[in-house]
Structure 1
Amino acid sequence: MELKRVEKEEDIKAIYPLMCQLRSHLNQVDYVELVSEAMAFDRYQLVALMEHEKPVAVIGYKRMTTLYYGRFIWVCDLVTDQKERSKGYGNQLLTYVEKEAATLGFDTVALSSGIKRHLAHRFYEDHKGYSKVSFVFKKSVE
């Protein structure tokens, strides 16, 4: 197993089959465009956990500053291949991000998770020590 920063367009494309398990609403063209834009303008980073040159899990995150959390890392995306779940890969990636936050002098890592993702919630709370602190609200505008 190795951790790999995903920065080149061909590597971003190679991660798509895994990422679309979480972000199934995105086609590959839109996914590559959004990742590239987020990397260029929003400090978004992708790190993949690779097994024999194949991505088995990926995390997308960015450094942020808000009045609520101060300086922190926001986890935007975290997915482990459906066939590879419950092997500790998500834990490895979150631990990596938590260490990066500590190295930067940040004391918080935050994320949101879909309301119906009960197994993910149990993982975050019971295995990683995350707390539910708020609800995220969304409204589509035209």
Structure 2
Amino acid sequence: MKITMLTTKDQWLEAFPIMKQLRTHLDKGSYISLISEAVEKDNYRLYALYDHQKMVAVVGLKPMITLYYGRFVWVCDLVTDNIYRSRGYGEYLLNFVHTWAADNKYESVALSSGIERYQAHRFYEEKMDYEKVSYVFKSK
């Protein structure tokens, strides 16, 4: 398996069919526009996991510093292609994020997960040993 940072529009477009499975509200244009701006202004990074030259999962992350978490990495997006789920790819990518965070002197990794995503919650809490520390609220 190989993890590659995606840095070009063509690479981001290659990841779109997988990302669309998580971010169903995005079309290609808004997806590219948001990634471009996030990379430029927020240090967003998008990585893809390839298994036998086939992209099977992606993770988007941002290194951040806040008073609550200190120096941490925020996982913005983590999705495995539907046809490749339950094969350990999500765990592999999340372990990569943890290693990246430690190597770059970030203290922890955090993320939010949609209320209805029960399978993801079980994965984070039981498999990856994350703890639920807050609720995330969003204004309309």
TM range (shorter): over 0.9
| Residue matched to 2:43 | 43
Output the amino acid matched with 2:31. Answer: Y
Q: CA RMSD in A?
A: 0.8
Deviation track 1:33-65 (CA, whole Å, cap 9, x = no partner) reads 100110011000011001233311000001001
Q: In the alignment, residue 73 of structure 1 is paired with which amino acid?
A: V
Pairwise mapping of residues 7-46 of structure 1 onto structure 2 (< 5 A)?
A: 7-46=7-46
| Equivalent AA in structure 2 for residue 26 of structure 1 | L
Deviations 1:97-141 (A, max 9, x none): 10011112222100000001000000000000100000000112x
Instruction: Give the match for residue 108 of structure 1.
Output: 108
- Identity between Structure 1 and Structure 2 (%): 51
How many residues were matched structurally? 140
Letter in 1 for 2:103: T
- 2:81 corresponds in structure 1 to 81
Q: CA–CA distance in 1 between the matches of 2:31 and 2:53? A: 21
Q: Within 1, Cα distance between the matches of 2:52 and 2:123? A: 26
Runs of 4+ in 1 over 3 A off after TM superposition: none
Relative to the length of structure 1, the TM-score reads 0.96
Task: Specify the alignment match of 1:132 in structure 2.
Answer: 132
TM-score (norm 2): 0.97
* SS, match of residue 22 in structure 2: coil
Q: Which runs of 5+ in 1 are unaligned?
A: none
SS in 2 for 1:98: helix
Q: Which structure 2 residue ranges, 5 or more long, are not aligned?
A: none
